[in-house]
Structure 1
Amino acid sequence: MEQNLLARKAWAGAVFLLIALWIMLFLPAWSLGFWQAWIYWALFSVSVILITRYFLRTDPELIKSRLPAGPGAERERSQKIIQTCMTVAFILLMLLPGIDHRSGWSEVPVYAVIAADIIAGIGFSVVFLTFRENRFTSAIIEVGRDQTVVSTGPYAIVRHPMYAGASLLILATPFALGSFLAIIPALLIIAGVIVRLIEEEKFLAVHLPGYREYCRKTRFRLVPFVW
């Protein structure tokens, strides 16, 4: 019964997200001819559905830990503020391309749109691999019971592979949706990610045994060989 309830909550959340995303993409455009949005929404939808289905079958506890999300789920005031700002920026990231499309402000070449969709797909793949490697990848900053440091898979390359994958997705989104204007909220989201992961590292260094040693071993936080 509990498993069925978890599945219903997970699928309800996924469906709500995808419907909301569709509305944010197409309502400002006031057109169903926004082909860049169709490709992006299809990619986003397939990725969310496959990831949800996979982990409901293989690791429902991961799904359970990720259901409480957003500013309201965070415990620290600073994280509530960061999450609120990032949520607003994400909404703008989804709304602006439709306005841009209707107004004809940007002209992103088709090859750049396709390349951006491929990068977005890679971003989703990195997130999936991170979830598969670390079942304690919660949607909020916390340390779970019996949690240990994970240093294998994508965690051997950067300390925050989930944020790395999400950052690829976010940075690719303006180009995938054919909007140079949307680069502004995308960069604001990346700034939020950087501030969030720095605070998360401070928290984990105190509350997760072995994390300081892991940081010394895996030097790069987000971008391999850069930072």
Structure 2
Amino acid sequence: MVTRLILQTVIWLAAMGVLLFGAAGTLAWPAAWWYLIELGVLSLWLGLWLARHDPGLLAERLAPVMQAQQSRWDRFFMMGVTLVWCGWLIVMGLDAVRLRWSAPLPVWLVSLGSLGVFLCIFMCRFVFKANSYAAPVVKIQTSRGHKVIDTGPYAHIRHPMYSSALLLLVGTPLLLGSWWGLAFVPVMVIGIGWRAVREERVLAEQLDGYAEYMERVRFRFVPFIW
């Protein structure tokens, strides 16, 4: 399992590097190197923690993003996410380095972006500790005894994983120095919000107690906002 984790992480980072540096037209982009290193180290840290504390969840996290048990709409969503993510990286490489559409960001904003990436992965540890069913695809994990989770961060918001992802979406273009990348974030947030609503419909229909959980915990992403 650990070998698979390392292999998939390396392949994932290499693919991102090809898109970023290919679009930039140069390897001389320190921000992109730092971004990939930070993501790689933090992802391996989290994956190794899962390997020790919840190997079942790690297996789910390493599974393909297209699965037979998955809803059809979620398969299309994940395909769209993959395409949008790749296009997003290309735009940021063009913007920040090759074409320089954006003026250089101040150091404090770049540092804030790096902090956002760190907090995203760090917060995911608390999500995974509370929820052993936090798979990347929308499905009911009957074979693993899927049940409603209402402890940890789930006691305050219904989708803490998505809340963490928002930090990554904002932090990435700030760290890479791309205002154009940041301009795409609201559209991506709307997409995540749409998926959260559809996911809740599936869970309310198929998972015992989830409808009652939605009544107890009123907010999806941010307390007192939405």
Same fold at TM > 0.5:
yes
TM-score by length of 1: 0.91
1:16 Cα deviation after fit: 0.8
1:105 maps to what in 2? 101
1:42 and 2:41 matched:
no
Contact 1:93–1:186 (8 Å) recurs in 2: no
Give identity over the alignment, percent: 30
Give CA deviations for 1:188-215 in whole Å, capped at 9, x if unaligned.
3222211111111001101111111111
Residue among 14, 22, 30 paired with 2:17 = 22
Instruction: Give the distance between the partners of 2:165 and 2:19, measured in 1 at CA.
Output: 19
When residues 151 and 52 of structure 1 are mapped into structure 2, their CA distance, relative to the original with a 3 A threshold, is: same
Instruction: Give the distance between the partners of 1:34 and 1:128, measured in 2 at CA.
Output: 30
Q: CA RMSD in A?
A: 1.6
Residue among 127, 133, 136 paired with 1:136 = 133
Instruction: Give the distance between the partners of 1:57 and 1:204, measured in 2 at CA.
Output: 28
1:191 and 2:186 matched:
no
1:184 Cα deviation after fit: 4.1
Contact 1:106–1:181 (8 Å) recurs in 2: yes
2:172 maps to what in 1? 173
1:43 Cα deviation after fit: 1.3
1:3 maps to what in 2? none
1:81 maps to what in 2? 76
Question: Which amino acid in structure 1 is aligned with residue 134 of structure 2?
Answer: T
TM-score by length of 2: 0.91
1:69 and 2:64 matched:
yes
When residues 39 and 53 of structure 1 are mapped into structure 2, their CA distance, relative to the original with a 3 A threshold, is: same
1:10 Cα deviation after fit: 2.3
1:53 and 2:48 matched:
yes
Instruction: Give the distance between the partners of 1:22 and 1:67, measured in 2 at CA.
Output: 20
Q: Secondary structure at the match of 2:146?
A: coil
Question: Which amino acid in structure 1 is aligned with residue 135 of structure 2?
Answer: S
1:77 Cα deviation after fit: 2.1
When residues 74 and 89 of structure 1 are mapped into structure 2, their CA distance, relative to the original with a 3 A threshold, is: farther
Paired residues, what number? 222
Q: Which one is further off, 121-130 or 31-40?
A: 31-40
1:216 maps to what in 2? 215
Instruction: Give the distance between the partners of 1:25 and 1:73, measured in 2 at CA.
Output: 32
Contact 1:36–1:177 (8 Å) recurs in 2: yes
Q: Secondary structure at the match of 1:182?
A: helix
Gaps of 5+ in 1: 1-5
The runs of at least 4 aligned residues of structure 1 exceeding 4 Å deviation read 71-74
1:8 Cα deviation after fit: 2.7
Instruction: Give the distance between the partners of 1:31 and 1:136, measured in 2 at CA.
Output: 41
Q: Secondary structure at the match of 1:212?
A: helix
Question: Which amino acid in structure 1 is aligned with residue 8 of structure 2?
Answer: G
1:205 and 2:204 matched:
yes
Gaps of 5+ in 2: none
1:185 Cα deviation after fit: 3.7
Q: Which one is further off, 139-148 or 66-75?
A: 66-75
1:33 Cα deviation after fit: 2.3
Give CA deviations for 1:60-115 in whole Å, capped at 9, x if unaligned.
10011122232466632211222122111111221112111121111222211111
Give CA deviations for 1:13-32 in whole Å, capped at 9, x if unaligned.
11111111222222211222
